[in-house]
Amino acid sequence: MPDRDYYLKDDTKSEELRKAYVAHIAKMFELLGDKTPNASTEAATVMRIETALAKGQMTRVERRDPPQLYHKISVEELQKLSPLLGGKPIL
What percentage of residues in the chain have a pLDDT greater than 90? 59
pLDDT (mean) for 18-37: 96
Same structural domain for residues 3 and 43?
A: yes
Q: How far apart are CA 85 and CA 21, in angstroms?
A: 37
Contact (CB, 8 A) for 42 and 24: no
Task: Provide the residue range defining the domain that includes 46.
Answer: 1-57
Read off φ and ψ for residue 54, nearest 5 degrees: -65, -35
With a CB cutoff of 8 Å and minimum separation 6, the contacts of 34 are: 42
Same structural domain for residues 52 and 71?
A: no
pLDDT tens by residue, 33-67: 999 999 999 999 999 999 999 999 988 888 888 88
Q: What's the pLDDT at 87?
A: 55
For the chain, what is the domain count?
A: 2
Same structural domain for residues 51 and 14?
A: yes
Same structural domain for residues 3 and 40?
A: yes
Same structural domain for residues 7 and 50?
A: yes
Q: pTM higher than 0.75, yes or no?
A: no
Q: What's the pLDDT at 46?
A: 97
Same structural domain for residues 9 and 47?
A: yes
Biggest alpha carbon–alpha carbon distance for the chain: 53
